[in-house]
Structure 1
Amino acid sequence: MASPAAAAPSTRSVRLQIPRAHRGLRDGIEAWLEAERDQIVLWAPVAFGGGIAIWFLLPDARGWLSAMLSCVAVGLGGMATGTGGRLARILAIGGLLCAGGIALVWWRADRVAAPVLARPVVVAFTATVERVEPLAARDRVRLTLLPDAGAGLPRRVRVNLATGDAPVGAGEGARIGLRARLMPPPAAAVPGAHDFARVAWFAGIGATGRGFAPVTVIAPGAGQGGLRTRLTAHITSRLDGSRGGIAAALATGDEGAIASVDSEAMRRAGLAHLLSVSGLHITAVVAATMLLVLRLLALSPWLAIRLRLPLVAAAAGALAAIGYTLLTGSQVPTIRSCVASLLVLVALTMGREAMTLRLVAAGAMIVLLAWPEALVGASFQLSFAAIAAIVALHEHPAVQDWFAPREEGWGLRLVRGLGSLLLTGLVVEAALMPIAVYHFHKAGLYGAAANIVAIPLTTFVVMPLDAAALLFDTVGLGAPLWWLTDLALQILLGLAHLVANAPGASVALPSMPVAAFGTMVAGGLWLALWRTRVRWFGWLPLAVGASWAVLTPAPDLLVTGDGRHLAVRVDGGLALLRDRAGDYTRTMLAENGGIDGEPALLADQAAARCTPDACAVDVRAEGRAWRVLATRSGYPVAWRTLVAACRSADIVVSERRLPRGCIPRWLKLDAAMLRTTGGVAVTFAGGRVRTVRTPGDRHPWLVPATVMPFRVARFDGGREVRRRALQRRRD
């Protein structure tokens, strides 16, 4: 008879049965990771960037610390399993990288902390000019100033001056005295709009505004500016209008002389990337430098025998890349491209394969380590998405086989080359479209075809002619080359306008949810970074995110954070409250409202009833009428009339503080409420309300330390100006 001990299963045998049930799944995952072992390292910057993104998404220190500790726990859990498998190592390293991303961007945000102006003021002060940016197309000069200590102003302010108001000698390093109207860096005007307050925080800018003449030069600066400024001025003096602006942008990265109509045409045509110095431009400069140095040195048999000419040419190309990056302002795309070029040159000198996704990942990691805040900017996302899409496409075995060099006639070779350009353009357009829609709410449809002509034209015609014209100008012989450059730029601009004006050239969508954008990014990364069949699962989140973005209804009402401007959807289009809204406000409201065109005026709509002081409009949605009431002047309204109007409205909007008796049926968006919420987007279907600010959000640019100047120059226009305006209105 068996003993009880023998009849009952041992504790040890029960423990061994648990992992057996899951061993097949674990072994399958390990086998897949083994097949993808060369690709796993590419996810390091993704994990690090994921931590940075988490910091921007979570609202306060409690959330940041909890997320960081959770990532550390995942990492320690991976190390503690003791299995030695790839999955455990991935969890360990990925968790620690994620925690490192949160910690780095948190530290960076605290390190750049600087006081911000508390409220708009008009003030006279003296400052040192840190940077001069001519904006010829807008007849403005932008100065970045360092106010003197004791002025009660932020450490760095940015001021726009009319070109005629900027005196000679107000270059970089000059000390000037001026009077300016300054305001705190503005947050996003409505949900989904550009958040300049966040950008200014990391740039150390605590106030922006407009300066008034006269501007006094106390101590002159470096002539007419540095090399970049002088070079831009020289180019724009040789080429008129936007053609000079584009030539300057290619040489110095300064886009200030490009007219807004031409810049918009380039963007709608999918050619805006040509204006931002990035991989295309750095590659052209490095390749031209290497070719020139190699050919010149090869003319000497003595040098050709004794020196490794390719190594010398690579060193010259590296110096050219660094110099061009410094000359063009060291923007994020340029730095990324410079780092990538240096890594390519190192790989070439070592006999390794040059362009790989590992190189792209290394460049991304370097940029994120230096500027973690760049992750949430359109520049970083567009530049890395484009290069990653190109490299991932051309690393695919089928693509490599199709476009590999082979013995064939020039006709077939030309067809293959054009096919490669077209396929690359289509893939890049597909990769960039979610990013463009998320940040700019527009996406071009014909960019791939336009780039087949524009990229070779820019790389092999415009840039060499631009450089040659500058070189020959040193001996006074550049005029013919400038004429050719002007002709090539006319062709480029003509192409941009032709494509931009074609029917359906651009698609406009309202601001999409952050989660939808993140889902598409995750799907795109999954497709690009894996190599086995598992990669095709990336289409699922891509499809889900795209459907989510497309099916998100456009807002019916947009209200800016100051309450002055309002756009309401009437008969399928947007109508603006104020007739005299500026170009930026009109464009911003139209883009975030998902329309491609000029908004109408609310006063012209049949459904609206407007007076000089207020507008009321009835909007049909979900089978009922929604009444929106908005004030549009600063003049007092009879209390009883205002209270009665509020009670009959669903939503009341005002830039001023409304009395307590003003109680609408649903939302009251007056000055007091908008200071808490920021800009507001309302969708009547489902009663959805989105705000720029969320309760408890403690990101440092939202709750900064503030300063105010000790003496504020006030307009004498207080009660007197108000009295005169009221008198004119009565007359």
Structure 2
Amino acid sequence: MLTALLERRQELFPWVPVLFGIGIGVYFALPAEPGPVALTAILALATLCGLGFLRAPFLWRPVFAVVFLMTLGVGWAQIRTLTVAAPVLEYRAFGPLEGRVRIVDRSGSGAPRVTLDEVWMADLRREETPRRVRISLVSPYQGDVPEPGQRIAVTANMSGPAAPAEPGGFNFQRQAWFKGIGAVGYTRDPSVLLAPAQGWSVIVGRIRARLSAGIQARVAGDNGAFAAAILTGDRSAMSPDTVEALRDANMAHLLAISGLHMGLLTGFIFAALRYGMALIPPAALRIPAKKWAAFLALLAAAFYLALSGGIVATQRAFIMVLVMLVAIMLDRRALTLRAVALAAMIVLILRPESLTEPGFQMSFAATTALVVVFGLLRDLPETAWRPPAWTRPVLAVFLSSLVAGLATAPFAAAHFNQVAQYGLLANVLSVPLVGTIVIPAAVLGGVLAPFGLEAPALWVMELGIRWVLGVAHFVAGLEGSTWPVVSPPQTVLPLVALGMLWLMLWPNRARVAAVAPLCAGLILWSQASRPDVLITESGALVGVMTEAGRVLSKERSEQFAARSWLENDGDAAVQAGAHSRDGFAHFRGGSRIIVGGVVITQLHGRGWQDVLPGACADGLVIAARVIEDAPQTCNLLDQRSLRRTGALAITVQDGKVQVTSAKDRSGDRPWTR
């Protein structure tokens, strides 16, 4: 078997980023950060295996290659962690803040939000000051939103990035670490302009802002906001209802400038230029039209990257397009597994942390599956049945949506806790129009705009967008359009990913072995269980699992944690609905509930001092404050102890209580210290 694989070793290159990624995944799964000695040993092992690959007997080279790539992945991820290290604010602060606006976007609540660099904060030395700070501008009196490049001053409430809302939950601390964000917060006061914007980012930012405003001035409502989103990345004008409809119809990917938009834009420009040159005989005979079209399409992709703000998803899409267009210029086939693998390797080298992000997982899952499936169809023997020529475009669109939807479904369900039941229908009805009408009309409108002739192109673009948004609202309104899904155990996605990769990449019939990890992952997912009790780090919110679903102790407090808990439960309820469920007995000074024979009392409001002695005698006591005079025998979780542990998950079984803390699950890593 090994000899047969070596004979087909050219087909094994796609496994290079897989093995490198496994090493990166191992690094992020470690419970503690490797020390300098461990890092040196890892890099030394990688070096020895690299030398062994070059000098070992032929049959031993695959072994050395596997160990080399995996150990290199571990070491490279840690090197990346060390190189992006920056100070993190270790306490809550309120005071003056200055910085240069680097990014302008919107928070989850829709408030304008700015990310600042070149930061100055009162009472902090330079070496203690975070490299970047992200502030939401929540004041209703806020004037114009600052522009990228401007230096502003605000008075803000700030703290370090929040720990997970539950043990094993979404780790914003890690995400912020790799973005260089050392503090987050909000301000209710207007910002003060200290210095105007300067530099290249100003020019690009102003072009982006003017293009977005110009589109919305000519195309009204959500249609114009959608056009601005897909062309400039500015989603600030999208209404919440439309965004929710796109999400429920599994069409939210149309809002993010990702591989789909980059591919459609560059593909249209490449085809238009190539066929346009072919219509000019002197040019077609004297210049390599295909290569020049690829080069000019690459320039358009680079401009699109700069115009969109250069977010991580767009950078990843640009790298994929770059690899494919360069392959065309080098007379290589563009859409191959080797090209996809090369793009994945570049992304992982530049940003190893991308491996943990849903965007990376879903985009490369879809691209790999599409290349494999259409490659198999291309290689069918001549005697195989083929559909009539006039049906092939329609079938190709349907098959593309089906393959991409199946490939990304496990990752979308795991990260977003829902499955769009009619997502395939929505994408089949909408994506073809984005590629054949919306994007081409937008490009044509951009070409004609300097001459004042863009109106017909924008009218055609608006017709396509109306259809797309109409499909989103129609599908989202169907009964049972979304199916909530419980969060899987952390071992599920690696198993499913390994099974899918084995199925798509292994070069012989042994790919049938992919059934084992796929089935193991799905079985583990089907057996997933949720904690009986969840407690926030502040102690202000408690959630207890009941037969009717999780009941929450508060109707409004800790809204992010409440939403996260319910989503991870696979529960479609909102916080107010979960609070109204039977379970908690509310009284003056607190609330009480019994879980598996254990009495849990949460102290809050006036009169909690009178409740404390009896609550301590009954069982577990939770308080959103520091309590100094509790009985020594009291089983108390107050803010002092919860700050040390982070959020808690409690499971009660046969009268035995098992407690898991967010700090224990997150481990001793640089972003958790």
TM over 0.5: yes
Tell me which of 608, 616, 620 is aligned to 1:637.
608
- 1:701 is aligned to 2:658: no
**Deviation of residue 299 (structure 1)?**
4.7
Which one-letter code corresponds to 2:652 in the other structure? F
Q: Which moved more, 1:177-186 or 1:438-447?
A: 438-447
Instruction: Tell me the residue number matched to 2:366.
Output: 386
Which one-letter code corresponds to 2:240 in the other structure? S
> What SS does structure 1 have at the residue aligned with 2:191?
strand
Aligned positions of 1:441-520 closer than 5 A: 441-520=417-496
Aligned positions of 1:397-408 closer than 5 A: 400-401=379-380
Distance 1:57 1:489 in 2: 42
Tell me which of 524, 540, 558 is aligned to 2:534.
558
- 1:646 is aligned to 2:619: no
Among all aligned residue pairs of Structure 1 and Structure 2, give the percentage whose two residues are the same amino acid: 30
**Deviation of residue 553 (structure 1)?**
1.5
**Deviation of residue 376 (structure 1)?**
1.0
**Deviation of residue 135 (structure 1)?**
6.9
Instruction: Tell me the residue number matched to 1:546.
Output: 522
Instruction: Tell me the residue number matched to 2:104.
Output: 132
> What SS does structure 2 have at the residue aligned with 1:581?
coil
TM-score, scaled to structure 1: 0.82
Change (3 A) 1:602 1:299: closer
Distance 2:173 2:443 in 1: 37
> What SS does structure 1 have at the residue aligned with 2:557?
coil
Which one-letter code corresponds to 2:149 in the other structure? G
Aligned positions of 1:49-88 closer than 5 A: 49-62=21-34, 66=38, 69=41, 76=48, 84-86=57-59, 88=60
Instruction: Tell me the residue number matched to 1:725.
Output: none
Which one-letter code corresponds to 1:655 in the other structure? A
Tell me which of 579, 587, 593 is aligned to 2:555.
579
Change (3 A) 1:476 1:556: farther
Q: Which runs of 5+ in 1 are unaligned?
A: 1-28, 704-731
Distance 1:53 1:611 in 2: 48
Instruction: Tell me the residue number matched to 1:48.
Output: 20
Aligned positions of 1:219-618 closer than 5 A: 219-221=195-197, 225-396=205-376, 400-401=379-380, 409-410=388-389, 413-414=390-391, 416-581=392-557, 584-600=560-576, 604-611=580-587, 613-618=589-594
**Residue correspondences, number:** 661
Distance 2:383 2:17 in 1: 30
Instruction: Tell me the residue number matched to 1:678.
Output: 646
Tell me which of 105, 109, 112 is aligned to 2:81.
109
**Deviation of residue 533 (structure 1)?**
1.3
Distance 1:345 1:581 in 2: 51
Instruction: Tell me the residue number matched to 1:94.
Output: 66
Equivalent pair of 2:549/2:578 in contact (CA under 8 Å): no
Q: CA RMSD in A?
A: 3.2
Q: Which runs of 5+ in 2 are unaligned?
A: none
Cα-to-partner distance string for 1:143-199 (whole Å, 9 max, x where unaligned)? 434323776242321112248655559423322222111121112212343322211
Which one-letter code corresponds to 2:667 in the other structure? D
> What SS does structure 2 have at the residue aligned with 1:248?
helix
Change (3 A) 1:204 1:636: farther
- 1:183 is aligned to 2:159: yes
**Deviation of residue 689 (structure 1)?**
4.1
**Deviation of residue 542 (structure 1)?**
0.6
> What SS does structure 2 have at the residue aligned with 1:144?
strand
Distance 1:89 1:565 in 2: 56
Q: Which moved more, 1:132-141 or 1:499-508?
A: 132-141
**Deviation of residue 470 (structure 1)?**
4.1
Change (3 A) 1:151 1:36: farther
> What SS does structure 2 have at the residue aligned with 1:214?
coil
Equivalent pair of 2:163/2:173 in contact (CA under 8 Å): yes
Equivalent pair of 1:147/1:156 in contact (CA under 8 Å): yes
Equivalent pair of 2:133/2:182 in contact (CA under 8 Å): yes
Distance 2:142 2:646 in 1: 35
TM-score, scaled to structure 2: 0.89
**Deviation of residue 549 (structure 1)?**
1.1
Distance 2:414 2:145 in 1: 42
> What SS does structure 1 have at the residue aligned with 2:10?
coil
Distance 2:239 2:169 in 1: 22
> What SS does structure 2 have at the residue aligned with 1:51?
helix
Distance 1:403 1:449 in 2: 31
Which one-letter code corresponds to 2:323 in the other structure? L
Distance 1:573 1:157 in 2: 37
Change (3 A) 1:585 1:477: farther
Change (3 A) 1:294 1:699: same
Which one-letter code corresponds to 2:274 in the other structure? L
